[in-house]
Chains A and B, each alone.
Chain A
């Protein structure tokens, strides 16, 4: 084997324990419950905080799933860069598209 070729490391990279997975799932469930709660404005008026709050909770859920369940927290950084690259490209392209179609205008 060439010295420049590293051995494939298919071994699990210190994956979280089952208990940690359950804890993450519980946090996700609680956040989802809060999200659903915001829908019923008659109970509590979120006002101008509604959309930013929903987007913040969405980002936290996304981050938890990708970091913990998809193991980007413990995997090689190059995988995070690949995914972040695609996600960033999608966000930039479609924000430009929405701007071009005057979505916020």
Chain B
């Protein structure tokens, strides 16, 4: 019988017809490999910002107009979304799909709040004279934080896809690994922000 939203904890051994040499599912392995390569992407963007952060050519630098309190609230929001993401997975593992849906939606909403905050920050900076091409520091800053924002936005789309699939009964308790894999991506985005918040926002420019 197909698993339903009221199913209890599921032993997926009985359901997964695939087998691998590692004993780890290919999708999970692929996600970890992808995240591993993402370290290089964001490492390059962070390094570029560090190299250019003081190159303002006499114009406004991003560090001159940072609003740390506002960014701190955004950081707390993203951290909170990591908690709701693991609670969604925990519910999925237990087979509690209604609660899984709730936590997925809350996670997506928190992500949307974060992205909204980033849009507000970019708009404020632009009005204060910091455009994308104002100086090398601005270009590096917008590229780095913009790339991160795009990652968060893609994560929201993934979460909403899971929510819709769960609502239509296509995401059941036996598919909890799908929730885990999307969660891995979401937590990685949070980890990247942990780096960005410290290195870009909190460590003072010389």
- B: which residues have CB within 8 A of A? 11-13, 16, 18-25, 28-29, 32-33, 35-40, 42-44, 46-47, 50-51, 68-69, 72, 75-76, 79-80, 82-83, 85-87, 89-90, 93, 176-177, 180, 183-184, 187-188, 190-191, 194-195, 197-199, 202-204
Query: Contact between A25 and B80 (Cβ–Cβ < 8 Å)?
Result: yes
Q: Which 10 A-B pairs have the closest CB atoms?
A: A86-B36, A90-B43, A6-B23, A25-B83, A58-B198, A90-B39, A94-B47, A10-B12, A36-B72, A10-B177
Q: Give chain B residues whose Cβ lies under 8 Å from the Cβ of A70.
A: 183-184, 187-188
Once the chains are docked, how many angstroms separate the CA of A82 from the CA of B29? 9
Select A8's contact among B24, B46, B86, beta carbons within 8 Å.
Answer: B24
Query: Contact between B76 and A32 (Cβ–Cβ < 8 Å)?
Result: yes
- A: which residues have CB within 8 A of B? 1, 4-12, 15, 17-18, 21-22, 24-25, 28-29, 32, 35-36, 38-39, 50-51, 54-55, 57-58, 61-62, 65-66, 69-71, 76, 78-79, 82-83, 85-87, 89-91, 93-94, 97-98, 101, 103
Query: Contact between B194 and A22 (Cβ–Cβ < 8 Å)?
Result: no
Once the chains are docked, how many angstroms separate the CA of A7 from the CA of B15? 11
Q: Give chain B residues whose Cβ lies under 8 Å from the Cβ of A24.
A: 83
Select B23's contact among A66, A76, A85, beta carbons within 8 Å.
Answer: A76
Min CB distance A92 to B, Å, is 10
Q: How many A-B residue pairs have CB under 8 A?
A: 154
Query: Contact between A89 and B93 (Cβ–Cβ < 8 Å)?
Result: no
Once the chains are docked, how many angstroms separate the CA of A36 from the CA of B67? 11
Given that A58-B198, A79-B29 are contacting pairs, would A32 and B86 also be in contact in the complex, using a CB cutoff of 8 Å?
no
Once the chains are docked, how many angstroms separate the CA of A102 from the CA of B186? 34
Query: Contact between B90 and A15 (Cβ–Cβ < 8 Å)?
Result: yes
Given that A7-B23, A8-B24, A29-B76 are contacting pairs, would A79 and B32 also be in contact in the complex, using a CB cutoff of 8 Å?
yes
Once the chains are docked, how many angstroms separate the CA of A35 from the CA of B75? 11
Query: Contact between B93 and A12 (Cβ–Cβ < 8 Å)?
Result: yes
Once the chains are docked, how many angstroms separate the CA of A82 from the CA of B184? 14
Given that A6-B20, A65-B190, A86-B39 are contacting pairs, would A98 and B47 also be in contact in the complex, using a CB cutoff of 8 Å?
yes
